[in-house]
Chains A and B, each alone.
Chain A
Amino acid sequence: RKEVEQDPGPFNVPEGATVAFNCTYSNSASQSFFWYRQDCRKEPKLLMSVYSSGNEDGRFTAQLNRASQYISLLIRDSKLSDSATYLCVVSSAGANNLFFGTGTRLTVIP
């Protein structure tokens, strides 16, 4: 079983739609969780960290469910500029314990 699993998509949604991605992780001792955004042929950039209590940044909401071992990302009022691949990242103790999902591709359609 992979450490981190994501639905690769693609998710094609119209502008203004609400879309949600989930990411499951296998290590119950995982401590830190992040969502990154990666545009085509570019480096991943931090979108938001995911806190136990859940957190929101504008149109983006991230949640953590430790019992079921998944994190989620909700995007409201999708914009064309939200089109990208969204990577889930999970870490436990140690510098070599960062695990990346393969990413979920989102395309927002006019």
Chain B
Amino acid sequence: DGGITQSPKYLFRKEGQNVTLSCEQNLNHDAMYWYRQDPGQGLRLIYYSQIVNDFQKGDIAEGYSVSREKKESFPLTVTSAQKNPTAFYLCASSPRERGNTIYFGEGSWLTVV
């Protein structure tokens, strides 16, 4: 099936630990994104990448890092520097052309314990 796969779906992290969320897409989309959603709130952009080996900070990049070594993959690392990491994380992708639809993975729930 074509789509965007995020893993793990649920993750518990101890304070001070780094964790990496995986995102893989087989839609041949150029652009990939990471968003964060807190309860009752809208989506906020963490990082995005329009092409392999290039990525840009979004609105709330502090405490996060990404890589884009392959077109299909855009992993997100939540570092210990992120002060309040408990949230729902959504990976998305879209074709590079302007105005094309964005598609989301099923999301990853991260809880700091």
Contact = CB atoms under 8 A, between A and B. Distances in A.
Interface of A: 31-32, 34, 41-46, 49, 87, 89, 91, 93-96, 98, 100-103
Most chain B beta-carbon neighbours within 10 Å: one of A43, A45, A100, A102 = A43
Given A95-B31, A101-B42, A44 B98 contact: no
The 9 closest A-B CB pairs, nearest first, are A32-B99, A102-B42, A43-B104, A100-B43, A95-B31, A95-B50, A43-B107, A100-B42, A31-B99
Nearest to B88: A41
9 contacts: A32-B99, A43-B90, A43-B106, A43-B107, A46-B101, A95-B96, A96-B45, A96-B58, A100-B43
B45 to A, nearest CB: 7
Interface in B24-60: 31, 33, 41-43, 45, 48, 50, 56, 58
Given A42-B106, A96-B45, A100-B43, 20 more contacts: A31-B98, A32-B98, A32-B99, A32-B100, A34-B101, A41-B88, A41-B109, A43-B104, A46-B101, A46-B103, A91-B99, A95-B31, A95-B94, A95-B96, A96-B48, A98-B33, A98-B102, A100-B42, A101-B42, A102-B41
A81 B50 CA distance: 36
Contacts of A43: 90, 104-107
A41 B48 CA distance: 23
A94 to B, nearest CB: 7
Interface in B47-100: 48, 50, 56, 58, 88, 90, 94, 96, 98-100
Chain B's interface size range is: 20 to 34
A51 B101 CA distance: 13
Nearest to B43: A100
B48 A95 contact: yes
Contacts of A98: 33, 45, 102
Nearest to B104: A43
Contacts of B103: 46
Nearest to A103: B42
Contacts of A91: 98-99
